[in-house]
Amino acid sequence: MQQACYYPNGTSGIDSGYTPCDASAEFSACCEATDICVSNGYCFQQSTAENAWNNRLARGLCTDPSWDSTSCPQFCKDVTSYSTNSVVLVIDAPVGQYCCGLSGSSGFNSTTGQCFQSTLSSPDRPYGTEPFTLNEGQVIYNRSNGATLPENMQKNTTIITPAAANGTCAEYSGNGSNIAKTTAGSAVPLGVLLLAASTAVLFLLKKVKRQERRLRELLPEPVGKSVHLLHPSGQLPHPQPIDAQRYETGIERSYEIDGIQRNEMPGSKVPESGSG
C-alpha cells in the first residue's frame, strides 16, 4: 500500500496528487506526479494544468506527519504549512542562496539583503531571514525505490545544484549505458565520413584544374584581334555606300523606237530618228 503524504501542519495530502519520491524508504519527500523529484527533498514543478505553478523549485509534502525526519525538506516547511511553497534563487553565485517564496514578491529584500520570509532553523543554521543554501541533488527517475542515475553515469550527468539555474538534464538509459560513450560512438563515424567527404572534394577540385590546364594547352593561340560583328557600342554598324563602279549595269541610255525599248550599250550609238 502506498504511503500517504502530509503537509507540514500534519494535514493529509491524499487528494493532492503528491506521491512519495522513494516508496521503499521509511520516510520520503513527496512531489506531484508531474514534478521531478530531486534527491535533496525538493520538487522541480512541471505541471501542465491551467493556472498551475510550473518550472520552479518548491517544497512539497512528506510521508512523515511530524516532518521531523531528515528526509523531509526542512527549509520553508513553516511557510504556508497548509500548502506547498516555492523556493526562490535570490543570489546567483557559485553556491546559490535561496529564500522561501512569498506570493506577489520575489521573496528577497535587496536593500537589506534578507529574505522577507523567515524559516525554521536547520541543525547548523539559526531561525531567521538569512538566505540559505540547499544540498546538491540528483534527479530521481524511479519513485518506487528512489533510484537516481547509476554510479558509472554520475561523471557524465548534470547534477542539479542550487546555482545551476541553466543546467541541462541528463537522460537515463534503462540498461545503464554511458551517455558520454554513446555520444562519442556516434561522433566518431560522423567525423570519419566528414573527413572522407572533404578529401573527395579536394581530389575532384585538383582533377578539374588539371583538365583545364590540358585544355588550354591543346587550344591554338588566337591570331590577331577578334572580329566583332557588333559595334563596340553594342549597335549594328551603319551600312556602307555601294561602290557604283563595281556594280554598273553596262547600260548607258534607253530609248523607245517604234514602240520597242532599245538600250544603248557602252561604245554603241542608237541612230537618230529619220536619219538615213
What integer best gives the mean pLDDT of the chain?
Answer: 74
Whole-model pTM: value is: 0.53
Q: How far is CA 117 from CA 87, 100, 109, in A?
A: 11, 6, 10
Confidence of residue 241 (pLDDT cuts 50, 70, 90): low
Q: Domain segments of the chain: what residues?
A: 1-83+137-188
Residue 256 predicted with pLDDT over 70: no
Confidence of residue 169 (pLDDT cuts 50, 70, 90): very low
Sheet with 97-100, strands from edge to edge, namely: 36-37, 43-46, 54-59, 85-91, 97-100
Residue 268: predicted pLDDT: 54
Segment 194-212 shows an average pLDDT of 76
Do residues 6 and 62 lie in contact, with contact meaning Cβ atoms separated by under 8 Å?
Answer: yes
Q: Which residue has the higher pLDDT, 81 or 255?
A: 81
Quick one: which of 142, 113, 141, 118 has its CA closest to 129? 118
Reported as a single tens digit per residue, the pLDDT across 220-236 is: 665 554 444 455 555 55
Residue 66 predicted with pLDDT over 90: yes
N- to C-terminal Cα separation, the chain: 156
Segment 255-263 shows an average pLDDT of 62
Residue 83 predicted with pLDDT over 60: yes
